[in-house]
Every structure is written in C-alpha cells, then in structure tokens.
Structure 1
Amino acid sequence: MEEKKLAFIGAGNMSRSLISGLIQSGYPAHLIMATNRSADKLEQLAADFGIHTSQDNRQATDWAQAIVLAVKPQMMASMLADLQAQHAQLKDKLLISIAAGISVTRLQEMTGQERIIRTMPNTPSLLGLGMTGLYARAHIAQSDRDYAEHMMQAVGKALWVSDEDSINHIISAAGSAPAYFFLFMEAMATQAIQSGFSEQDARLLVQQTALGAANMVVANPDTTLGELRAQVTSKGGTTAEAIRHFQEQGLEQLVADAMTAAVTRARELETQL
C-alpha cells in the first residue's frame, strides 16, 4: 500500500478501527494523525498506536496528503465550512469520506475539491471483519482508488460500485445489515428464554449458531445459500417445518421491503445533508 501522510478528521470508533487495521498491516504510525475535540480520545489513540494527534483540524489537513472525513454526517458541513474559513490546504489532496448520506456532489460543494472517494464501511470493521462499499467518479486516478481500497481491506472486505446510488444499496445490504441479524438473533434468544433457558445460555446458543452458520458460508464459496439451507433441511423434519412457517409468513418479502426502505431513507438523507 502506498504510504501517504494520512489524517483522520474525527476519531470515533470507525476511525479507531481503521487506524488499528492500518497499523497492524504495517502502515507507519508516524504517517497517521487523528483529530478530535476530546483530548482523552486522542491521548488513548496516541498511547495505543503511537500516531500523531491534534485538536486542530486545520493542522491535520495542512499536514496530510490524504484525509479521511470521519465526523458525524450532521456535523460535516460546519466542520468543512470552518476549514474553508481558515483557508485550510485541501487542494490536490485525496479526500475519503466514511460519512453516510453525503453524496460526492455535496462533498464537492462543501470542499471545493473533486478528488473525492466515498465509502460505506460497517460496524464489524471494528473487529477486522468489515464490509465496505466504495465509489469514485471516473476521473479519480487508479492510484487513489487503490489507496482507498487497501485502507478498507485493512479492516475487512471491500467492494467497488460503478454508480453512486449503489452505495445506498450497499447500506441496505451491508451498512445497516448487522442490525438485521442482531434483531433476528434477539428474537431467537427471547424465544429460547421463554422456553426455559437462562439469558446467558440463550445467548450462547444463538451466537454460536450464528457464528457457525456464517463460517459455513465462508468455507463453502461454491455452494449457494439456498443449497446450504437445503443441506440442513430434512424433508418432513423440524427445520423444514420452521422454514415453511417463515416462508408462509412472507419472510422473503419482508426482508426485501425492509432493504428497500433502507435505500429510500438513504436517498432522503442525501437531500438533507
């Protein structure tokens, strides 16, 4: 991976996971800087990873060659306006956004720059098991694309999309999706508790089963998800009865409608931020 001076504007959990992944993959700590309002967060990052820290966004952007825009979406406009007012040096620098709901066009308006890559990581990135979607306009150099991709691969898998609206579908299929699985697991654990298991035992049953199922998918890349399901669904058995009930209640359509709702909301947010 090309080694640039890299600044993270915003030092929340996602920035921390990316910094951790980069350091573990061999990225030099002295080439990374993070900014945040919280001195405590910055002290912890410096202690854990040996990176530079600052409470001054302009200092970080002037120093960096690549900048990760990692503040909360609703704070992005004011943060960038402050940088513009301070005449921060953004020209010719690679800007990588990890903020949901802010389009490349809007980022260009806020920064006056066009060298922008938009990404959508998800929370399992905190464990190095993330799934990130990336989008860049046609004029973005391959070297910049490679840099952003390698950064996201430090915390999981990365997938490029060819049009920006597909980032909204990445949100529905990956960005928001961990919560779908948590909801399903929560419902299963609740039913297990009602069946007489302790809360601890119910959680163990559900989390280990989810972990095993996910690893079976990873371990069998040439087997479709439908085939994996069929392999544990004996005709006339208990699993078949549960699956029949899910399907009769319209599980597939419910999931499709929920994912469509997520996409619709993502598009709405793009008009508001």
Structure 2
Amino acid sequence: MQTKDQKIIFLNSYLPRTGHNFAAEVIKIFSDHQVLINPRSETKISTLLESYFLIYENGILNKANRDFFDHLFINDLRKRILCKSDKNHIMIKDTSFVGVDYLPEVFPGDIHLILIRDPLNVFLSLLKAMNLNKRSYRNFLKKILLPVGIYPYFYSKKLSRQVLDHFPELNNRIVLRYEDLVMKNKTVLRKLQKIFNSESDIDEIKLKIDQIKVINSSFFEETKGLKIWDMQSKTKEYDPLKRKSRNYFIRKGVELGSRQLRKKLNYI
C-alpha cells in the first residue's frame, strides 16, 4: 500500500561497468529499497524525459497544449511509479547521464544520486567484455588495433566525449564514488546513514558490504563464476579497484583517451 513517506531513489551512472549493481546493493543496506522492475533492471526514465522535453520545447509552443501534455505524461508519473511497490524506497537505476538534469525538476522531493567510477577501469572493463569474434571488417580492424593501444585510445576518447556532452549539473545531486563504496569509506557510509535515517552500526554495515556478491562482472572468471551474470562471493583474486589489463599499450591507450573525462571527475 502506498504511503506519503515513499521516496524514489534515482541512481544514475555515466556508462555500464561503473558498478551500479554493487552500489545499489550497498545503498539497499541503508534504504531497504526495491528496484523496479527487477534487481538488475535499468529504467530509462531520464532518457525518456530528455526526448519528451525536446519535443515539448521545440514543437509544443502553446501553454494550453503544454499543460495538456504534462497532464497526460508528467503530472501523475511519480504516483504511477510509487504504486508499483509497498516499500518506503523505490530505486530507479540507469547507466546514462542523458536527461539526468530533468529528474530533480520532475521529481523534486526524491533522492538523486550520481555514481562515478574511474573511467580508466570502466573502459578497461568494457574492452574486456567486448566480443570481437563475429566476422566483419570492422572487428578485423579492431583486433589489429586493440593490442597496440590505438583502438583503446579512440574508443575511450569517443565514449568520454559522449559522457561529457551529457554531463549533469552536480550542485543538487549526491555524488558517490564507486571506489569509496568498495573501500567502505566511513565518511561516505555516514553520509548514507544520514540520507536514509539509518541507525545501523558502521561495523555492521561494513560486514554486510563484504557479503555482497559480485554481479555482472566482465571479470567473472576471477570470481569462479560459470557465466557473466552469475552472482558469486568475492575471492582473493577479485580486486575491482585494480583491474587487470592485457598489456601496457591497451592500458596506456585508455589512459590517454580517457584523460579529459578523468580530469572532469577528479581522478587526475
């Protein structure tokens, strides 16, 4: 049954492989939230809002028409989301910054979290998960240019530019670093305690974080998983903060290609 105290947690990261599933599990320790539609789902509400307001601003100029469209698509949107769960907190996850600046405007009373992770590790993870086995001229070129660092450089540079093109305003957001969650940073954990009015002991929270299983990792073999989606307990071989690169040139290409984004996110 819906209550007036319900809140939506919007968790947006800039790309897949930023650790959003792990972050959601950490946040759940404080909020006991439900992820719609299922625990691994991404719901592209911010992307839809971007498209909606693009049409709205360029094609619907009459105020009466705008009010009618808001009545159809916006005014009861929050209510329709909240009615899908009895939990006090509902989480909406998305691995994109597209349209993120519209979320506080449409959902002003809810919780808006931005998750960031060092782009160096994100891009290395994306490259490792890339399937180049399908026969095509493009994949043939990628296979040649990958080990010498040329393809990783241009791939990282292109993705960095795409993220920066949609980089959100951070003043009204709560920014979480994936690395702080992995390291169980006390300041960050206390911040989450305050946000969700949690009375759990910090040591107890740290223990629960240690018990979170590895989810959707391109390095699933390090966790002894049989498939990429297997949820496995962490092993000594698994270190999410020191990703393994196949060679120096791949890592160097990613370092150079991601430099602008890493600087924007204060990783260099």
Asked which structure has the greater RCO (Cα within 8 Å, sep 6+), the reply is 2
Between structure 1 and structure 2, the one with the greater Rg is 1
TM-score, length-normalised on structure 2?
0.29
